[in-house]
Amino acid sequence: MKIYKTPVSVLVIIHTPDRQVLLLERADHPGYWQSVTGSQNQGETLLQTAAREVAEETGLDASCYELTDWNIQSEYEIYEEWRWRYAPEVTHNTEHVFGLLVPAPVPVTVAAREHLRFAWFPLEKAVEKVFSPTNAEAIRKLTSDKSDRNNRSEKNPCLEPGRTDS
């Protein structure tokens, strides 16, 4: 029996206080850049899904930074080429947006089966670079008051005592 993906996903905008945005280039589509994204597993909360996907796709521990639910969701039609991952009757996905504030552009470890490389871009360049309209719209939210709560400088609980950089 085939196990299908759940048509509920997260999109995590990883960014710095000065609005540098981390993007990942897809391995299955070179030239397609995106933020961290992935489907919810059965039994997970959306916050758990966001933290898991951040760890899987970047190697970052989201608990070391500020992971925030932006309370934004959108529904979109799943691209035809990726529908085989879902049950035959599924055509749309509901995406929930999160932000992960990091203190500076940190290096990440990409999952080679999913991504070719990563890069940090200024907000406007990131908006232009992503292939998904919902990803571009989510990145634009960094300029609105809605996401300013996720634009605070906080101490990183994962830093070693006495260390001030990451």
What's the distance, Cα to Cα, between the start and end of the chain in Å?
45
Q: Name the residue with higher pLDDT: 60 or 152.
A: 60
Rounded to an integer, what distance in angstroms lies between the CA atom of residue 18 and that of residue 96? 23
Q: Percentage of residues in the chain with pLDDT exceeding 70?
A: 87
- For residues 62-85, give the mean pLDDT: 94
Quick: pLDDT tens for 97-117. Answer: 999 999 999 999 999 999 999
Q: What is residue 35's DSSP assignment?
A: -
Residue spans of beta strands (DSSP E) within 16-81: 20-26, 33-34, 36-39, 66-77
DSSP 8-state assignment for residue 145:
G
Cβ pair 138, 22 in contact under 8 A: no
The count of other CB atoms within 10 Å of the CB of residue 98 is: 27
Q: Is 1.10.540.10 the CATH number for 8-150?
A: no
Is 98 within 8 Å of 11 (Cβ atoms)?
yes
Sign of the CA dihedral with 55 first, then 59, 63, and 69 last:
negative
Q: How confident is the model over 125-152, as pLDDT tens digits? A: 999 999 999 999 999 999 874 444 444 4
Residue 33, SS3 per DSSP: strand
3-class state of residue 94 by DSSP: strand
Residue 154 above 50 pLDDT? no
Residue at 74: amino acid letter: S
Q: Where are the domains of the chain?
A: 8-150
Q: Specify the pLDDT at position 158.
A: 61
Q: Give the integer Cα–Cα distance in Å for 12 and 101.
A: 10
Query: 25 pairs with which residues across the strands?
Result: 33, 117
